Amino acid sequence: MIAMRHWSLRQQVTLLVGVLCLALVCILAAGAAYIAQSRVRQIVMENETQDAVLTASLLDRGMFERFREARNLAAMPPLKDIWAGDPAVIRQVLEQLRTSYPDYAWIGYATPDGTVRAATKGMLEGQSVRERPWFQDGLKGPAVGDVHEAKLLATLLGPAPNNEPFRFVDVAAPVRDETGRVIGVVGAHLSWTWAEERRRAVLGSQSLSGGKSLWILSGDGTMLLGPDIGSKPFPEERVRAMRQATAGAFEDPSGTEPMLTGFAVAGGYRDYPGLNWIVIARQPDSVAFAATKGIVWTIMGLGLVIALIGLICARFIARGVARPLQTIIEAADKIGRDPTISQVPRVSGSAEIVRLSAALRSLLRRAGAAEQQVIEASSQHEKDKMALRQLAETDPLSGLLNRRGFALLADEAFGLHRRHGHSLAVLLLDIDFFKAVNDTYGHAAGDVVIQAIGTALNGTLRATDKIARFGGEEFIVLIHEVDETGIITVAQNLRRAVEALAIAYQDRTLSVTVSVGGALAGPDDRDIQDVIERADDALYKAKAAGRNRVTIDGLQIQLASAVA
């Protein structure tokens, strides 16, 4: 830098532009690589998670259908009389079911003592399955069993198509007579090749072209479908974290190369309880980031070309700039020495040079005015921002927060609840028979009712609690630092405040009530939406119980005005 002080402006500009262009190319390439890699990682992880969730959903829904078929077969009224009848008739019914779904490897009916009375293809008939888990669980109720081998049945079925041991998933259900007494168990072994078909349907050609893999693990992390069946590819801490999260993604560095990994837990569907299988979708880092390397090299090449062009242009520009600048410098140097010179002259050249000479003459005159303008503009800008935010987050009818404004506060409050354990609760209030008010007195009356209730509710709450109009005749309240007793008290105070209202409309006095549902944020809630959903369920129960009531999720309490 010391040596550059003695260089001409043209030399300094040329050198600095060259260094700047080179630095910009490097920064651009590094930034592009980072952004591209981060974005690709995010996209790939999202895709892997979606594939895992899709596969888990296919497994759960498939098992739900088999679970329902076994239960329906055992309880179907037209079949009540066949179970104690001819085994050939029972076998025919079971064969028809297996024909409709070929993935059933075996379907049988066993008497309460465990003897197989009838089965598809007559397999295991007359033999005892009393000690088998599916039979013991089936005596108690509809049941499913995890993946396992059945050596005796595998011997009867012959070799598997892929020469691997047969593995099965069990479904079973008790058969009851007219009195409800268990007279037998219907059991079915579902071939595990069914899961392999679902896996191939999701993968398609990706496993060949993109190095993608899809595994299925048991709830304890044991490999059920994938390489090294029976192994545990992940440590217990990772398996426990996946079960708790139910779905998500992470980068697994444990193999020969890092793998972008998505997961989802098959936790059941409807009344099928699920076996907590963990579906793993994986893709190598090298495959995921291959495209980003080409992008980076392309950007670097273009950047170098642009830098070279900029360097040449900078040399010519510096020459044109230096000449009029020298004139200004010489005049400025004489100001204060030569009494005949009091300002810099007007010079010809680029528009910027001309404006520079003019700016130097008027700088002091304009400095004060410019500063004041900046202050005023900044103040007006802040006012405009506040006004726009107020409009965006406020319900125009009630003057309360709207759904957007509430969501911002609620998400922040839930974050504090998660990080610091601050207690948090949500109340949902719905005006009872509000449609009747609109139908009887008109929508203008309905607007008056909403405004009156909003004012009453807001006046009843603490300053730290927030209320919003959630849409239509529904209001939502966010309550901080409250326990089970406190949420009931707050909810009842709100309900009484509305019940006590006498709303004047024209020459009439209107009275309304509200139903209240509430929920306290708990450790199982993933976000504020989970709390709102539980409060909404409680509100539905309050409505169903007769309205003008308070129902708090998990407390098993319904309070009406008569017992408030």
- Would you name the residues annotated as active-site residues? 473
| Alpha-carbon gap, residue 410 to 104, rounded angstroms | 49
For residues 52 and 264, the answer to whether their CB atoms sit within 8 Å is yes
| Alpha-carbon gap, residue 495 to 480, rounded angstroms | 19
DSSP-assigned letters across all residues of 375-440: HHHHHHHHHHHHHHHHHHHB-TTTSSB-HHHHHHHHHHHHHHHHHH---EEEEEEEETTHHHHHHH
Instruction: Please work out, in degrees rounded to the nearest 5, the angle formed at the alpha carbon of residue 496 by the alpha carbons of 495 and 497.
Output: 90
| Alpha-carbon gap, residue 41 to 52, rounded angstroms | 16
SS3 content of the chain, % helix, strand, coil (to 5): 55, 20, 25
Q: Which one, of 108, 79, 124, lies nearest residue 187 by Cα? A: 108
For residues 245 and 269, the answer to whether their CB atoms sit within 8 Å is no
Which residues are CB-neighbours of 287 under 8 A, at least 6 positions away? Answer: 210, 211, 212
The Cα-based distances of 290 to 39, 293, 465 in angstroms read 13, 6, 51
Tokens 């398996």 sit on residue: 239
For residue 152, the one-letter residue type is: L
For residue 32, the tally of other CB atoms under 10 A from its CB is 17
For residue 271, the one-letter residue type is: D
